Homo-oligomer: A and B are copies of this chain.
Amino acid sequence: MNIAILFGGSSYEHEISIVSAITMKKVLKKSTLTYIFVSPNREFYLVDTDKINAKLFSSGAYKKGKQLTLKQGGFFTESMFGSKPVDFDGVLNLIHGRDGEDGKIAALMEFFNIPFISPRMEASALSYNKLYTKFLAQSLGVKTVPYEHLSKTDERKVSMEYPVIIKPVRLGSSIGVSIVKEASELEYALDVAFEFDTDVIVEPFIEGVKEYNQAGCYTNEWELSIVEEPQKEAFLDFEKKYMDFSRDSQVLAADIDDDLKIKIQDNFKKVYHPLFKGSIIRCDFFVNNGDVLLNEINPIPGSMANYLFDDFEGMVERLFKNLPKEQNITVDYQYIHSIQSAKGKA
A residues near B (Cβ < 8 Å) are 10-12, 14-16, 18, 40-43, 54-55, 57-58, 69-72, 78, 80, 83, 98-99, 102-104, 106-108, 110-113, 121-122, 125-126, 128-129, 131-132, 135-136, 138-139, 149, 151, 196, 198, 238-239, 242-243, 274, 327, 329-331, 333, 335-340, 345
A186 CB to nearest B CB, Å = 22
Q: Which chain B positions have C-beta within 8 A of A110? A: 104
Asked whether, in the complex, the Cβ of B42 is within 8 Å of the Cβ of A111, the reply is yes
Residue from A11, A15, A106 with most neighbouring chain B CB atoms (10 Å):
A15
Bound-state CA distance A12–B334 (Å) is 12
- Specify which of B40, B121, B129 is in contact with A329 (CB 8 Å cutoff): B40
Asked whether, in the complex, the Cβ of A15 is within 8 Å of the Cβ of B335, the reply is yes
Kindly report which residue of chain B lies nearest to residue A16, judged by CB atoms: B335
Bound-state CA distance A113–B41 (Å) is 9
Kindly report which residue of chain B lies nearest to residue A345, judged by CB atoms: B55
8 contacts between A and B (CB under 8 A): A10-B331, A15-B333, A40-B330, A70-B70, A104-B110, A126-B132, A242-B339, A243-B339
Asked whether, in the complex, the Cβ of B11 is within 8 Å of the Cβ of A329, the reply is yes
Q: Which chain B positions have C-beta within 8 A of A243? A: 339
Q: Which chain B positions have C-beta within 8 A of A80? A: 80
Asked, given contacts A107-B104, A329-B40, whether A239 binds B335 with beta carbons under 8 Å apart, the answer is: yes
Bound-state CA distance A290–B242 (Å) is 55
A104-B111, A121-B121, A239-B335 are known contacts; what are 11 more A-B pairs with Cβ within 8 Å? A15-B331, A18-B336, A42-B111, A54-B339, A58-B336, A80-B80, A103-B107, A103-B122, A108-B108, A122-B132, A243-B339
